[in-house]
Amino acid sequence: MLRTHTCGELNINNLGQTVTLCGWVQKSRDLGGTTFIDVRDRYGLTQLVFNVDTDAALRETSRALGREFVIKVSGEVIERTNKNLKIPTGEIEIAVADIEVLNAAKIPPFLIEDETDGGEELRAKYRYLDLRRNPIRNNLVLRHKMAQEIRKYLDDLNFIEVETPVLIKSTPEGARDFVVPSRMNPGEFYALPQSPQTFKQLLMVSGFDRYFQIVKCFRDEDLRADRQPEFTQIDCEMAFITQEDILNIFEGLTRHLFKNVKGIEFDDFPRMQYADAMRLYGSDKPDIRFGMQFVELNDVVKGKGLGIFDNAELVVGINAKGCAEYTRKQIDELTEWLKRPQIGATGMIYCRYNTDGTLKSSVDKFYTEDDLTNWAAAFGAEKGDLMLVLAGSTDKVRKQLNELRLEMGTRLGLRDKNTYAPLWVLDFPLLEWDEETERYHAMHHPFTSPKPEDIALLDTAPGDVRANAYDLVINGTEIGGGSIRIHDRDLQALMFKHLGFSKEEAQKQFGFLMDAFEYGAPPHGGIAFGFDRLCSIFAGLDSIRDVIAFPKNNSGRDVMIDSPSTIADAQLNELKIKTAL
The CA distance from 460 to 462, in Å, is 6
Please state whether the peptide bond connecting residue 564 to the residue before it is cis, i.e. omega within 30 degrees of 0.
Answer: yes
Q: Calculate the alpha carbon distances from 50 to 2, 28, 32, 353 in Å.
A: 21, 11, 11, 69
Binding site feature residues for ATP: 219-221, 228, 478, 530-533
Which H or E run includes 410? helix 394-411
Q: Which of 519, 425, 541 is nearest to 140 (CA)?
A: 541
Binding site feature residues: 173, 219-221, 228, 444, 478, 485, 530-533
From the CB of residue 345, how many other CB atoms can be counted at a distance below 10 Å? 21
Q: Residues 391, 309: contact at Cβ < 8 Å?
A: yes
Which DSSP string corresponds to 317-383? EEEETT-TT--HHHHHHHHHHHHSTTT-----EEEEE-TTS-EEETTTTT--HHHHHHHHHHHT--T
CA angle 451, 452, 457 (to 5 degrees): 80
**CA quadruple 120, 121, 122, 126: dihedral sign:** positive
**Coil/strand/helix, residue 444:** coil
Contacts of 205 (CB under 8 A, 6+ apart): 516, 517, 519, 520, 521, 522
Which DSSP string corresponds to 135-156? HHHHHHHHHHHHHHHHHHHHHH
Dihedrals φ, ψ of 238, to 5°?
-140, 145
408, amino acid identity: M
Q: Residues 62, 35: contact at Cβ < 8 Å?
A: yes
The CA distance from 258 to 142, in Å, is 12
**Coil/strand/helix, residue 413:** coil
Contacts of 408 (CB under 8 A, 6+ apart): 292, 318, 320, 323, 388
The CA distance from 268 to 265, in Å, is 10
Binding site feature residues for L-aspartate: 173, 219, 444, 485
**Coil/strand/helix, residue 392:** strand
